[in-house]
Amino acid sequence: MLTHHQIWHAIDALAARHGLSASGLAKLAGLDPTTFNKSKRGGANGKLRWPSTESVSKILNATGASLDEFVALVGQDGALRRSFSRAVPLIGLAQAGAQGYFDDAGFPAGAGWDEIPFPEVADEHAYALEITGESMQPVYRDGDRIIVSPAANVRRGDRVVVRTHGGEVMAKQLARHTAQRIELRSFNTAFEDRSFAVSEIAFMHRIIWASQ
């Protein structure tokens, strides 16, 4: 049975994944900052209050999380999440274009990877990249770490890491994907958007979390 505690826990966990408070998550989604406050989760008469499906939909859209990812957070308390923590391979974004870090399938491979502990990653091939420079501000800043999932479905509007066959690696927002071309939107308006033929792309992986 789905419980009131499980739903609110999942919202708190999603906020924490993005380095946000519950009110920060609400603001990111365009909701009233008090939408997810503790005081809104129950009435003075003891009656439980549940978040609306609209508010849940908006936070998923704002964070780029899928419904499956949200459901995976439901019912998992902090102790359970920590017990499933595992090491995720980590390199710098600038290193990711070099040869030897990814195999032909686009999965992390070879030596040179560091490791960081991270919970709740169902994708065994998930990896982390450390952001350098200012080209991705204000979404990602120098020193931020992003968790990337090769297995996650990618759809328009998602934040993605793209690697070309020429070895160029970038983090962008997927603006459009057709059978022939991939169009990417830059986070920083000072940098141009990019467009590639599908044949130029080695892989495109979805960003599922960021330490900010």
> What is the token pair recorded at 212?
């900010």
Instruction: Provide the phi-psi class of 128: left if phi over 0, else alpha when psi is between -120 and 50, else beta.
Output: beta
Residue whose entry in the numeric block shows the structure tokens 């920590």 = 82
Residue 189 to residue 195: CA distance in whole angstroms: 15
CATH 1.10.443.10 fits 4-80, yes or no: no
Residue 126 to residue 27: CA distance in whole angstroms: 28
Q: What is the pLDDT along the chain (212 residues), one digit of tens a residue?
A: 678 888 888 898 888 877 788 888 999 999 998 999 888 888 767 788 899 999 999 999 998 888 877 887 875 544 344 444 678 899 999 899 998 999 988 999 988 899 988 766 778 899 999 998 888 888 888 999 999 999 988 999 999 999 999 999 999 999 999 999 999 999 999 999 999 999 999 999 999 888 75
CATH-assigned architecture of domain 85-211: Ribbon (2.10)
Q: Cα torsion for 190, 95, 166, 197, to the nearest 10°?
A: -50
* Domain edges within the chain: 4-80, 85-211
Read off the DSSP letter of residue 95: G
- Would 4-80 and 85-211 be classified into the same CATH topology? no
pTM of the model: 0.63
Residue 160 to residue 152: CA distance in whole angstroms: 10
Residue 26 to residue 15: CA distance in whole angstroms: 9
